């Protein structure tokens, strides 16, 4: 039982490059989330998925797209990375009254 896993752990991109952050959970949860964490700003919701096949925008969705591939997997895509997207990205899934977080992806955009 691995909980929530994320890949990669670290990534450096040049401005304009694209990449996909992968997330998977093995707890059979319906809801999954993508957050970004920046110093002094806590975690901000980018996108979430209440169930397989549905996705909704969160607080800061611009520049991102998501795919809920199946119940286990929820990916986040940056089509054209910008320096403002330098951040630590966390995926989470929701069980009963609690969100479980992955270990994060540290992304730097040069």
Partner 1 sequence: TQLLEQSPQFLSIQEGENLTVYCNSSSVFSSLQWYRQEPGEGPVLLVTVVTGGEVKKLKRLTFQFGDARKDSSLHITAAQPGDTGLYLCAGVLWTDKLIFGTGTRLQVFP
Q: Does 102 bind partner 1 (CB under 8 A)?
A: yes
Binder to partner 1 among 48, 64, 78, 87 (CB under 8 A)?
48
Q: Does 90 bind partner 1 (CB under 8 A)?
A: yes
Q: Nearest-CA neighbor of 8 among 93, 91, 71? A: 91
Which two tokens mark 104? 């994060």
Distances (CA, A) of 8 to 28, 41, 58, 84, 96: 22, 23, 23, 19, 27
**Least Å from the CB of residue 42 to partner 1:** 4
Binding site for partner 1 (CB under 8 A): 4, 31, 33, 35, 40-45, 48, 58-59, 90, 92, 94, 97-104
């Amino acid at each position: 039982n691995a909980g929530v896993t994320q890949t990669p752990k670290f990534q450096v991109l040049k401005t304009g490059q694209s990449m996909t952050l992968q997330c998977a959970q093995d707890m059979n949860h319906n809801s999954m989330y993508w957050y970004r964490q920046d110093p002094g700003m806590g975690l901000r919701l980018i996108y979430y998925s209440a169930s397989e096949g549905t996705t909704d925008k969160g607080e800061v969705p611009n520049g991102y797209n998501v795919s809920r591939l199946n119940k286990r997997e929820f990916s986040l895509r940056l089509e054209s990375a910008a320096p403002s997207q330098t951040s630590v990205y966390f995926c989470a899934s929701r069980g009963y009254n609690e969100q479980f977080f992955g270990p994060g992806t540290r992304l730097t955009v040069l």
